[in-house]
A and B are shown apart, each in its own frame.
Chain A
Amino acid sequence: MIEIKKKQFGDFIKNLMETYRVFAPTKDGKKSSFSEIKKADEIVDVHTTKSAKSVFFPQAEVLFNYSENEIEVPNLEQKPIALWGIHSCDTKGLLSLDKVFKNAHQLPNNKMYEDPYWNKKYAESLIFTLACNEPLTTCFCNWFESGPFDKTGADIFVVDNGESFLLEAISDKGQTFFIQSGFDQEGEHQHAVFSLKKKAESMMEEKQDISSVFETLNEIQEKEFWEEITQKCINCGACTFVCPTCHCFDVSDEGKHQKGKRIRVWDSCMFGIFTEEASGHNPRGLSYQRVQQRIMHKFNYFYDNYEEHLCSGCGRCIRVCPTNLDIREIVKKIIKRKNNV
C-alpha cells in the first residue's frame, strides 16, 4: 500500500495523464457523472448520478461512418483509459458488462463474438476503485457478497483516509503500474483502512439473503404476481439508463443515404417499442411484462448464464425512480414468496 498525500494528488493525476486518458467523477450540471478530466480539481467525491459504464460504453457511440458505400471505422487505437474514483458497485458492474461484451458466443459452434468497441477500451484500462467511505441508505451492495470496500475487479484499490489516498495494487496490471511508477507496496496503513471499512459497513442497511431468488423466479408462473408488484411502474428508462449493468442498445443510422453514421444508442427494456416488431406484434407489449423482463434479466436470466446477478446494488435506480418502485422491495417480495410457499 502506498500513500499519496492530497497535496500531491494533482501531480499524480498529471503523471497519470501522460500514459492515460483519465476519467473520474465530475459535476454534470447539478448532477454528476464520469467524464474525461484535464485537472485533478475537476474530480468530485460523490455518489454519481450516472454510473461509470458510459466510460467504456457511451450512451451514443459511432460504429462506423459511411459515405456512399465506403465504410470508415472510427479509430479504436486510442490512449488507454485510467478510471479514477469508481466505487466497488460500478467496478462490479463493469465486470458484468465485460461478460456480455466479451463472452457472447454463438451456438452450436462456440464462435466468440467480441465487441471491439468495448473490448479494447476495457482490456487496456486501469481501474482505480475508490473505497466507499459513506454508503447511502439506498446502497445495497452488501446483498451481493460485496461491500463498500470490495476490491473485486479493481486494478488498484484506493482508500481515502482524509488527508491521503492509500493505494493498493490488486491486479497484475495494477502491480505493473506500481512498478512503472516506482511505487513500492511497503507503507503500513492496514489499521486505518480496517476501521474505515468497518465504519462504512456499519452504515449500510441490513443485508438480505438473496440465495433463493434465482430458484424462486424459476417457479413464478402467474402473471398476477408481476402485475401486482410492478403496477406503479410508468415504463420510463431512468432506472436502466443510470444502471451500471444494463447494456441493451439500439442500432440506428443517422444521416442521409450518401453520408452518415451508424451508431449504437442505449435502449431500455422498459420502453414498449423495444421489442415491437415491424408487423406490430409485440412480445412484451404490456407494462408488467417489461418490468418482469428487467427483474428476470437481473436476477434470473443472467444468473442462469453466468451464476451472478446483473445488479451490483448501487441503488441508483431507487434514487431516480419517479414512482419509488424500489428494486429492493421487489426482491424482498420474491424472497417472501419463497418463504410463504
Chain B
Amino acid sequence: MIDKLHEKVKSLLEEKQVELVIGWGKGSLPLTATPVFIKDTKDVDQLIFDHTCRNNLTMYLTKDKKSLGKIHDKIAIIVKGCDSRSVVLYAVENQIKRENVVIIGVPCSGIIEKKKISELTNDMEVLSTQIEGDHIIIKGRKEEFKFKLTEILSDSCLQCRYPDAIEYDHFIGEPRGEIDINDEYSVVEKFQEKSSKERWEAVKEEYSKCIRCYACRNVCPSCYCNECFVDGNDPQWIGKTPEVTDSIIFHLIRNLHIAGRCVDCGSCVSACPVDIDLRLMNKKVEKEVKERFNYVAGIDINEKPAMASFCEHEKQDFILD
C-alpha cells in the first residue's frame, strides 16, 4: 500500500497538480510518526502510513491564519477516516475551498495510544516495537511486553465507525468499510451513572491537572479561531492560572465550542502532556448533538452544521431544564 501512496504523491507533484503534500513520516521516537511537508518528488519516500500516524494533519490547513493556503495554490493532504471528516468540516464551515485541497484517503486500522502503553508497562521507556499479526511486542531496556493491538489502540479508534476516508480525491489501499459500533458512547453512559456530585468531583480532578499549554486546542482541527476566547483580554473571560477554577472554564467552553464539530480523532488526548481525559466530555457533547439534532460532524459535505441551522421541531427542553 505504501508504494501506491508514494506513486500517487509522486505523480501529483510531477504533474504539478499540487505544490505541497502533507503526510506522515517516521518520527524520532518509537511509536511516533511526525508530520512531513513534501514539495519535492525526491522526498516522497519519507511518507509512511501505519499505526503510529496519530496527528490529524488537516489542522495545518488552518494554521497561522491559513498561511499554507496562501503560499501554495494547491495542497494535497493524506487523511485517515477521522481526518477526512475534518476536511468535510472545513468545507462545511467555509474554511477551505474543497477544490483547492487534493485529498488522499487511506484506510485506518487504528492508531496506537502511547499513553496506554505507559500505563500498562509502568512508564517503561519504549526502545523498539514489533507488530506480529494482531499483537505488538514492546521492548524496553530490561523488559519486554506483548499486547493485543486492541489493548493499546486509542479509544477513539476502538470506537471508530468510519476508518476509511469519507471524502477524498484519491483512495489508496483496501477500504475497511463502515464499522458497526454499538458502544460508541459507553464512556459517557458509564460516567452518567455516577451521582452529580461524583461527576463534578471527577471533572474537577481531571481538569486540575491542566497546565494551560493549549496543546489540546492547538492540535485540534476544529479549533481554528483567529483569537481564542482564552487569549482575549478585553474583556478577559478567564484567568490564566493553572487553578482548576480557570482550567475548567477553558475546557468546558472548548467542549461547547466544538459541539457538533469534534470528529473524535483523538489528537487532543494524545497531545496532552499531563494525560487529562479529554475525550469523555467531547463524547458527551457529541452524543447530545447527535440525539438532539441527528447530526454527526464531518459526514456530509452538503449538510448544514448543527449549530448553524435551526428547525422548529428541534427539542428545546434544555431551555427550561
Contacts and interface: CB of A to CB of B under 8 A. Distances in A.
A, B from the same assembly: yes
Interface of A: 28-31, 46, 49-50, 59-60, 134, 136-138, 203, 231-232, 234-238, 240-242, 250, 252, 254, 263, 265, 268, 271-273, 286-287, 318-320, 322-326, 328-329
Most chain A CB within 10 A, of B118, B218, B236, is at B218
A49 B274 contact: yes
Given A238-B271, A250-B240, A268-B213, 6 more contacts: A60-B240, A232-B60, A254-B239, A323-B219, A324-B33, A329-B28
B222 to A, nearest CB: 14
A256 B152 CA distance: 48
A231 B37 contact: yes
B64 interface: yes
14 contacts: A30-B274, A46-B123, A49-B274, A60-B241, A137-B127, A138-B29, A236-B217, A238-B215, A252-B236, A286-B67, A287-B67, A324-B32, A324-B33, A326-B27
Contacts of B64: 286-287
Interface string B112-152: 00010011000101010000000000000100000000000
B280 interface: no
Contact of B273 (A263, A273, A320): A320
B311 to A, nearest CB: 36
Contacts of B141: 134, 203
B55 A323 contact: yes
A236 B213 contact: yes
B231 interface: yes
Give the 7 A-B CB pairs with smallest separation, nearest first.
A322-B271, A324-B34, A60-B241, A236-B215, A320-B273, A236-B218, A324-B27
Contacts of B289: none
Nearest to B271: A322
Contacts of B211: 50, 59, 241
Interface string B22-36: 000001110011111
B214 A271 contact: yes
A236 B214 contact: yes
Interface in B227-251: 227, 231, 236, 239-243
A287 B214 CA distance: 15
A234 B219 contact: yes
Contact of B209 (A28, A231, A324): A28
Contacts of B270: 322
Contacts of B218: 234-236, 322
A24 to B, nearest CB: 17
